[in-house]
Chain A
Amino acid sequence: MSTTELEPNGPEVTLVDLADRLLGRGVVLAGDLVLSVAGVDLVYVSLRAVLASVDTAIASGWELP
């Protein structure tokens, strides 16, 4: 993925930093948090979902095999 098309917020902002914060953090104000996803974004959102599930599993005491 390229960062060249991003509207600049500062020279250091990368797509990874953006996606980590905006898709994975921030307050969820409403129940209807609906992302319509397509193409490469779907891959990223799916990845976030998997990582978040693993994170939750470990936090609740799940041990690695």
Chain B
Amino acid sequence: MIYAYAVVRAGCAPEPTAGIDGAPVELLSAGTLAAVCSSHPTAGMEPDPNHLAAHNRVTTAMLATGAVVPLRFGTTFPDDGAVREALVARARRLEALLRQLEGKVEFGLRACCDEPPAAAEPAPPAAVTSGTETSPAAGTPGRSYLESLRRSRRDPAGGLAAPLRDLHHTLSGRAAAAVLLPAEEGLVAAYLVGAAESSAFRAAVGAAADEDLHAELSGPWAPYTFVTAEASGA
């Protein structure tokens, strides 16, 4: 079985990297594209933490060689030919993605602050006293999650406390693209940043954080968050 980590440009020269279970990573090329792959004796791939970390390590290492389109974990093919067929079938879209992502990396942010959200909903009842089976009580975790998700679709930054909204606007201004991710509370977002601006981006997060605003930056990642819409044709 061939396991695929990412799509890159054919002819790029990766550093030798160990893949999942230590398998050597190789490039399988088709036209201008190449899939970053490794061979494994078994079918399927369990998403255990070490496998996830290995997948991420390979996609991150490829960032040093140029644009990277990271693949979802678990992408497998029966043989080399099937990998090349998949590249050819999606060549136009993959090439467009590689052009967009050239020289860019993704950063993830989780931030929270003590200030209450600007558009806070009325506080839900503290306890469910006599909920019936047919009408789930407001304030249950599931319902509040759904409501936060729906709010975030109507006005992505509207439910954030002012310092978090300001931080997101500041960071969005430094990024080629930004995505607010659904979160029950606080700011969870991803930013597509020019690799050359990574240090300045980190510094901007550090400058915004203080004792009232806690911010955790992760990355650089291969741009997982910024290939997903194109992948589904949205």
Chain A residues within 8 Å of B, Cβ to Cβ? 1, 3, 5-7, 9-10, 12-15, 17-23, 25-30, 32-38, 41, 44-45, 54-55, 58-59, 64-65
Segment at the interface with A among B119-127, B156-164, B165-173, B216-224: B216-224
Given contacts A32-B77, A54-B146, contact A26 B71 (CB under 8 A): yes
Give Cα distance in the complex from A21 to B221, angstroms.
9
Within 8 A of A (CB), among B159-206: 181-182
Least distance between B117 CB and chain A CB atoms (Å): 19
Give Cα distance in the complex from A27 to B68, angstroms.
11
Cβ contact within 8 Å between A30 and B218: no
Given contacts A21-B225, A29-B90, A58-B146, contact A9 B46 (CB under 8 A): no
Cβ contact within 8 Å between B56 and A22: yes
Given contacts A18-B49, A21-B70, 19 further A-B contacts (CB under 8 A): A6-B50, A7-B53, A12-B219, A17-B108, A22-B52, A22-B73, A22-B224, A25-B228, A26-B70, A26-B224, A26-B227, A27-B71, A28-B71, A30-B86, A34-B43, A35-B44, A35-B47, A41-B47, A55-B182
Given contacts A35-B47, A54-B149, A58-B149, contact A9 B70 (CB under 8 A): no
A19 cross-chain contacts in B, Cβ below 8 A: 47, 52
Cβ contact within 8 Å between A30 and B75: yes
Give Cα distance in the complex from A10 to B217, angstroms.
11
Give Cα distance in the complex from A21 to B35, angstroms.
19
Give Cα distance in the complex from A65 to B140, angstroms.
13
Name the CB-closest residue of A to B18. A7
Give Cα distance in the complex from A26 to B128, angstroms.
40
Q: B97 within 8 Å of A by Cβ?
A: yes
0/1 interface trace, chain B 48-64, chain A, CB 8 Å (1 if under): 11101111110010000
Give Cα distance in the complex from A4 to B158, angstroms.
36
Please pick, from B45, B57, B149, the residue contacting A9 in the complex, using a CB distance under 8 A: B57
Least distance between B121 CB and chain A CB atoms (Å): 13
Cβ contact within 8 Å between A9 and B60: yes
Cβ contact within 8 Å between A22 and B44: no
Give Cα distance in the complex from A5 to B70, angstroms.
23
Q: B80 within 8 Å of A by Cβ?
A: no
0/1 interface trace, chain B 139-163, chain A, CB 8 Å (1 if under): 0000100110110010000000000
Least distance between A54 CB and chain B CB atoms (Å): 7
Closest 6 CB pairs of A and B: A36-B44, A26-B72, A21-B224, A22-B73, A25-B224, A27-B231
